[in-house]
Amino acid sequence: RYGPMVLGVLRGALHDPHAADDAFQAVFLVLARKAGTIRPPGSVGGWLYGVAVRTAGKARAAAARRRRHEMAARTPAPPAP
């Protein structure tokens, strides 16, 4: 029921289909763990939207960290005097 909405949010935020798929799975893992805490029970859609937005932000931050680390590894160390 909510899968297309969650996937749309993630694809729009991440611009990488593989990262969006990974984040999609993460969102529904959060739902599986925290389903009992959703109040009121009919607000699952809004709750999932919020989780998707936060998960996308964390995925973007992790990708940026990974890119910085990879770029640092590519840059040769300056020669020792």
pLDDT tens string, the chain, 81 residues long: the values are 999 999 999 999 999 999 999 999 999 999 999 999 988 878 999 999 999 999 999 999 999 999 999 998 887 767 777
State pTM to two decimals.
0.83
As a whole number of angstroms, the distance between CA 11 and CA 13 comes to: 5
Residues in contact with 44: Cβ distance below 8 Å, sequence separation at least 6, in sequence order: 2, 31, 38
As a whole number of angstroms, the distance between CA 78 and CA 31 comes to: 48
| Nearest partner of 35 among 22, 25, 48, 24, judged by Cα | 48
